[in-house]
């Protein structure tokens, strides 16, 4: 079974910081996305196909990577960005990473 | 605007059944597949099942195969997840999510708020 390993599992940062979250896949695939989830809400699609920004998502979010290593970068943290982030890969079904909780320092 | 609303969750004893509904609005429902994803308390996201846009195929995680069944009624813009032989480890918030591309299956661009399922004696 495919596994996605996110790091770090939690992160403390300040408004204005640049933040990077990584995701390593056990299998090569370019079908890769990032989601943001806030408490009590369903996830929100941020980036798909590794680096394509979903409509309406601020340009401070970006995705990169290839093969088995992928990165989500937030260039300048805003107060509304404190949330949990999940990576997702799709081969025959969606598989999610374990999540990265981004907290205010 | 696009909206998905889950309902039907509740508390059920082990071995019991529940039927969850996902009712959609704001898009051409019959052109989109629907995923179900669950989240146990304090845990991450786990894919549960998927139904294609036309209902021609359904797919299930190994952990629910043979116990859960998906169907859809396009006249009601609703997908149903029938859950039988429920186990305590099925306890979670269940989200339905619309795929992002017509006739696709890969990513989900709109999600509901979720419905809580608790399996306990």
Residue B3: pLDDT band (50, 70, 90) is very high
CA–CA distance, A20 with A73 (Å, rounded to integer): 4
B23 touches chain A (CB under 8 A): no
Both tokens assigned to A35: 């989601």
pLDDT at position B103, please? 83
Residue A93: pLDDT band (50, 70, 90) is very high
Tens of pLDDT, residues B71-106: 999 999 999 999 999 999 999 999 999 999 988 899
Q: Do A98 and B47 touch (CB under 8 A)?
A: no
Tens of pLDDT, residues A8-33: 999 999 999 999 999 999 998 889 99
- Residue (of A5, A13, A1) closest to A96 by Cα position: A5
Q: How many CB atoms lie within 10 A of CB B112?
A: 24
Which residues of chain B make contact with A40, given a CB cutoff of 8 A? Answer: 113
- Chain A: closest CA distance from residue B3 (Å): 12
């Amino acid at each position: 079974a495919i596994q996605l390993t996110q790091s770090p599992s939690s992160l403390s940062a300040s408004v204005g910081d640049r933040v990077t979250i990584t995701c390593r896949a056990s299998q090569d695939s370019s079908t890769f996305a990032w989601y943001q989830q806030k408490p009590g809400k369903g996830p929100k699609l941020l980036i798909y196909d590794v680096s394509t920004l979903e409509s309406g998502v601020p340009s401070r979010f970006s995705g990169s990577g290839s093969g088995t290593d992928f990165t989500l970068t937030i260039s300048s943290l805003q107060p509304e960005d404190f949330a949990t982030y999940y990576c997702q890969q799709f081969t025959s079904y969606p598989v999610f990473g374990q999540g990265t909780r981004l907290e205010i320092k | 605007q696009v909206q998905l609303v889950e309902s039907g969750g509740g508390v059920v004893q082990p071995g019991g059944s529940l039927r969850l509904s996902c009712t959609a609005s704001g898009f051409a429902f019959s052109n989109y597949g629907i995923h179900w994803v669950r989240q146990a308390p304090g845990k991450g996201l786990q894919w549960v099942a998927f139904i294609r846009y036309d209902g021609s195929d359904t797919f299930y995680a190994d952990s629910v195969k043979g116990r859960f069944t998906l169907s859809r009624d396009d006249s009601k813009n609703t997908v149903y997840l029938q859950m039988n032989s429920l186990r305590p480890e099925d306890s979670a918030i269940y989200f339905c999510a619309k795929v992002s591309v017509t006739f696709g299956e890969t990513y989900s661009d709109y999600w509901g708020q979720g419905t809580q399922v608790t399996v306990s004696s």
